[in-house]
Chain A
């Protein structure tokens, strides 16, 4: 296990603030998840994926805090495969009720169910699984990472808008591929689109022939369709499908046109500033998981700034109230859904070089908030822990 505390030194910039100094300690737990082998190593997952975002959020909080006599600390624990994530979570929770988690869905639920986590404020920044926002939700668990369903709903809105309503899908075999494919099916039904063909990508070796020979044959029996959806969340084979399909059709989903919580190509809404701040600090581009961790740390910072309190009842109450709003560089205030703790947020639809659209798309209406056209809306969610 590796521990480090990122310090919170505050310069004497200001004539003495009125309030006494207050410190908020935030725990950050990273549970290593084995990455499956992929055909290409062109885009390695950064080692500090997520953590870097939390550190940028911490820096933002510290700058604001110095004008208010408020300090922040981030205590980071990394757990490797042969170690016990629950012991590490207990340790962190004994020091602070605020915990940002980067782990798989099973570990996240197990942590939320710890006796030490009762009344804590936990943030899921790594698992998009719908169940965590649905039957498996927990009252002490908020989600800053957009759910898979929010992303596939965003994609479906684009498909509707483009009238690409005759769709086929290729699905990988990993758990995250399957849950993404499930979210795709749900979204297509929700938005009245047809899935007219599905194939599984189950090659158990590297491609025997190169992609330009393999993929045309593999996609030939789909017949005609409007767009091909790839469910390949581990980014194994999807990149080889583009421009190699039998039919000349757009590729969407995990590759090609993708719907994401964050992307380096987002520059509007002041996002260029967050991107350049992040890149200066970490010498790489900001990922969706970095963004989720940034939003979690900033959520706590915003709550302490506005309430001038650091106790969990006050902060949680404020975070879930109508007064709370996070300026998240997505063009709208971000808030939490009071039925399942999901951070309500626009979803970017991008290709690797540019932003194509931002969901909710114009025309997708909702009786209270258009952002709730993405993901599990109040009547759809079976979560009861927030009632």
Chain B
């Protein structure tokens, strides 16, 4: 009996406490959700139209794309205080932090440019011409390649992070939205919102390896629009937000087959997991809430009201 209790307390302590930070695009705020209580525990003010959000590797800083303020804001996540702003170019929407924790690659949606900013010197170190309306951003785990996807040009642009120049441009289906490297960088995935597909590239050759499409019962295929996606532990499955179809798809990352669809809130956009990836938090723009999904059961277990038009989501641990 005593031994059992000890085991439970051990389990409890390994399940780290944490928070999901959600940007509310039309409220100029961040809602902080506790992954323990599944409630909003804090709300912080940001610049105008916050969208992309990410933490640095030790979670001591949170970076926020304040799109209509034309700045990336740097916040102390413990106090909610905005420490300073980084020059970001016009209309920053999404970004990604290089594994060196120094270089931020920012998509400037209005200018067809990717801006590279050094977060320490706070200077722009490169601006790279890309296609019309750059949005999705990714960087390979080894830090050698950065990706920008452009929504109207319909390409993934491959950036050499040593030279800050493009070395390949690959066409994808209409309105690419989000990109991720997985399997130690061997594969690069891109979602195409209007095309309704997910394309898998072989990173070494930049060639298309697989393409997936989605079918949600009772929803016209035109309205099944993949946007954000994230991978479960070990990159075995992808959870894919399908926008106005109000569903998240579960994709097997080995067979490239869709295994499940989960009903969530309206216009599901981006997402992040908790620490052990047992729970997934999706932002639902139109319904103004976050759906919590039990990853193992593949079920929505709760919706949490946040601000107006929640957009991005990022996890940070707090329990240690």
Task: List residues of A whose CB falls within 8 A of some B CB.
Answer: 11, 13-15, 60, 63-64, 66-68, 270, 273, 276-277, 280, 305-306, 325-327, 331-333, 369-371
Contact = CB atoms under 8 A, between A and B. Distances in A.
Given A276-B110, A325-B194, A332 B151 contact: no
Interface string B101-133: 000000001101000000000000000010111
A307 B133 CA distance: 22
A270 B167 CA distance: 28
B131 A64 contact: yes
A67 B155 contact: yes
B151 A327 contact: yes
B260 interface: no
A333 B174 contact: yes
B153 A273 contact: no
Q: Which 3 A-B pairs have the closest CB atoms?
A: A64-B153, A67-B169, A327-B174
B310 interface: no
Nearest to B153: A64
Contacts of B109: 273
Contact of B167 (A15, A60, A273, A371): A15
Given A325-B194, A327-B194, A332-B222, A273 B110 contact: yes
Interface of B: 91, 109-110, 112, 129, 131-133, 150-155, 157, 166-167, 169, 171, 174-175, 193-196, 220, 222-223, 244
Given A273-B110, A332-B223, A333-B222, A64 B155 contact: yes
Contact of A64 (B110, B152, B220): B152
A158 to B, nearest CB: 19
A273 B91 CA distance: 10
Given A63-B112, A276-B110, A305-B171, A11 B155 contact: no
Given A11-B129, A276-B110, A64 B154 contact: yes
B31 to A, nearest CB: 22
B65 to A, nearest CB: 14
A305 B170 CA distance: 11
A204 to B, nearest CB: 48
Contacts of A273: 109-110, 133, 151
B195 A325 contact: yes
A68 B169 contact: yes
Contacts of A11: 129
Contacts of A68: 169
A370 B223 CA distance: 11
Contacts of B155: 64, 67
Nearest to B49: A272
Contact of B244 (A14, A270, A331, A371): A331
Contacts of B222: 332-333, 369, 371
A176 to B, nearest CB: 31
Given A14-B169, A273-B133, A63 B151 contact: no
Nearest to A370: B220
B151 to A, nearest CB: 6
Contacts of A326: 174
A63 B131 contact: yes
Contacts of A66: 129
A305 B154 contact: yes
B110 A67 contact: no
Contact of B220 (A13, A67, A369): A369
22 contacts: A13-B166, A14-B166, A14-B169, A15-B166, A63-B132, A63-B153, A64-B152, A67-B155, A67-B169, A273-B109, A273-B110, A276-B110, A280-B110, A325-B195, A327-B174, A327-B193, A332-B223, A333-B195, A333-B196, A333-B222, A369-B222, A370-B220
A282 to B, nearest CB: 15
Nearest to B173: A325
A219 B195 CA distance: 49
A282 B136 CA distance: 28
A332 B132 CA distance: 18
A246 B177 CA distance: 51
A369 B174 CA distance: 19
Contact of B132 (A13, A64, A280, A369): A64
Contact of B151 (A14, A270, A305, A331): A270
Contacts of B132: 60, 63-64, 277
Contacts of B154: 64, 305, 327
Nearest to B67: A272
Nearest to B68: A272
A326 to B, nearest CB: 8
Contacts of B152: 60, 64, 327
Contacts of B91: 276
B110 A270 contact: no
A325 B174 CA distance: 8
Contacts of B196: 333
A277 B131 CA distance: 14
Given A13-B129, A67-B169, A273-B133, 13 more contacts: A13-B166, A60-B152, A64-B131, A64-B132, A66-B129, A67-B131, A327-B174, A327-B193, A327-B194, A332-B223, A369-B220, A369-B222, A370-B220
Contacts of B167: 15
Contacts of A280: 110
B131 A327 contact: no
Nearest to B129: A13
A159 to B, nearest CB: 23
A327 B222 CA distance: 11
Contacts of B223: 331-332
B70 to A, nearest CB: 12
Contacts of A276: 91, 110
A366 to B, nearest CB: 9
Contacts of B174: 325-327, 333
A361 to B, nearest CB: 13
